[in-house]
Amino acid sequence: MPGQPLEASVWLLIAVLAVGAATGYAVTPLVVSLAWRLGAIDYPKERGVHTEPMPRWGGLAVYAAFLVAVAVAIALNPGLAGPRLWGIVVGATIVVAVGALDDRFGLPARAKLASQVAAAIVLIAFGVRIDFLSRPFGGGIVYLPTILKWAVTIFWVAAVTNAVNLIDGLDGLAAGVSAIAALAVCGLAIMYPQPLPAVLAAAAAGAALGFLRHNFHPAKVFMGDSGAYCLGFVIASAAIVGAFKVAASLAIFVPLLVLAFPLFETTFSIARRARNGRPIHVADRDHLYHRMLARGLSQRAVVLIIYAISAGFCGLAFWIAEVQ
């Protein structure tokens, strides 16, 4: 980090990743017990692939692990603390709280979207926003007027947050893809270097990996909306602070590639539901992973294939960033 040798920065990130993973692993059984006690349960439904009730508050463990990992990072390097970090923590708290309420009671789609918009506005108020975009071809950057800065930032945060939630349909899928994306954002931040997004992404990756041990097939707990919103929001925020700030030709595609699979699923699902005359927020069984299951692949096989696809897109993002 600033003023520290590279080795210290790498060791700090390793510590953040390890603490996040250990905390996520240790706290998940506690939130499983809490979910059973307070009724935050996902019961079998037609569009689902599970046949038994499953606790849904795994996202609270992800959130707690993320906070602990960030606290450790600040303790090791107080210079990381600042308005942008606090804005991300406050925004994450908003979406996690609303996600947890939805996991327990069920909330209308507009209420959940409103929470994401509110969290994005918090980010903007704390200085986390997309001020400019790089031109896809020809190099250079395009500075955005104030209204577009707000609009693009809110759109990006809501899109990524919902994209992660949309792929949370198989054991370990959203947690694993989020971990891969977060590790990629962390690696890109190291390349430039940018300490804050590197730490945020490492904390998110660690939290996701620790939770994944309980969530991989056969899952003992679901992350629910609270977990998907937490990971999606933090990754989106880290991308704004980090990768979106790279003023180079094609750099705009780097964060898009890191999140290519969930963003593709979101776009495809919206188009499919609109074509079929269904509300875009109503779930169905036509996702890519549902179609792969229908072809006879096991849950584990489908998830591992999608992990590989996500890793491949992240590798392409690194290649683009490197050649710039």
So what's the pLDDT on residue 49? 65
pLDDT tens for each residue of 216-251: 999 999 999 999 999 999 999 998 888 555 544 444
pLDDT tens for each residue of 87-98: 999 999 999 999
| CB-based burial label for 53 (10 Å; 0-12, 13-18, 19+) | exposed
Question: Whose CA is closest to 208, among 44, 7, 25?
Answer: 25
DSSP 227-243: HHHHHHHHHHHHHHHTG
In angstroms, the CA 2 to CA 215 distance is 36
pLDDT tens for each residue of 113-160: 999 999 999 999 999 998 877 665 555 667 789 899 999 999 999 999
**Token representation of residue 52:** 């038994």
Question: Whose CA is closest to 220, among 54, 51, 41?
Answer: 54
The answer on pLDDT for 182 being more than 50 is yes
In angstroms, the CA 308 to CA 293 distance is 17
In angstroms, the CA 121 to CA 116 distance is 9
Q: pTM of the full predicted structure?
A: 0.90
Q: How many CA atoms lie within 13 A of 154 on its CB side?
A: 15
Residue 27 CB contacts under 8 Å (≥ 6 apart), including other chains? 60, 61, 64, 65
Calculate mean pLDDT across residues 50-57.
88
Residue 225 CB contacts under 8 Å (≥ 6 apart), including other chains? 59, 98, 99, 100, 102, 103, 112, 165
Cis peptide, bond prior to residue 145, ω within 30 of zero: no
Query: Per-domain residue ranges for the chain?
Result: 6-323
**How many H helices and E strands in the chain?**
12, 4
In angstroms, the CA 171 to CA 9 distance is 33
In angstroms, the CA 23 to CA 127 distance is 29
pLDDT tens for each residue of 56-65: 999 999 999 9
Q: Which residue has the tokens 């750099």?
A: 251
pLDDT tens for each residue of 19-40: 999 999 999 999 999 999 999 9
